[in-house]
Chain A
Amino acid sequence: DIQMTQSPSTLSASVGDRVIITCRASRSVSPQLAWFQQKPGKAPRLLIYKASNLETGVPSRFSGGGSGTEFTLTISSLQPDDFATYYCQHYLSYPFTFGPGTKVDIK
Chain B
Amino acid sequence: EVHLVESGGGLVQPGGSLRLSCEASGFTFSDRYMDWVRQAPGKGLEWIARIRNKANRYTTEYAASVTGRFTISRDDSKNSLYLQMNSLKTEDTALYYCSSGTKIHDYWGQGTLVTVSS
Contact = CB atoms under 8 A, between A and B. Distances in A.
Interface string A78-107: 000000000101010011111111000000
A34 interface: yes
Nearest to A33: B104
B108 A101 contact: no
Contacts of A34: 103-105
Contacts of A53: 103
Contacts, number: 56
B103 A55 contact: yes
B106 A46 contact: yes
Contact of A100 (B44, B97, B101, B111): B44
Nearest to A4: B44
Contacts of B47: 89, 95-98
B45 A44 contact: yes
B44 A46 contact: no
A49 interface: yes
A25 B76 CA distance: 35
Contact of A46 (B46, B101, B109): B101
Contacts of B110: 43
Interface string B91-104: 00000010001011
Nearest to A43: B108
Interface residues of A, number: 24
A89 B49 CA distance: 15
A53 B63 CA distance: 27
Contacts of A95: 47, 61-64
B103 A49 contact: yes
A87 B104 contact: no
Given A43-B108, A43-B109, A50 B103 contact: yes
* The 3 nearest A-B residue pairs measured at CB: A43-B108, A49-B103, A96-B47
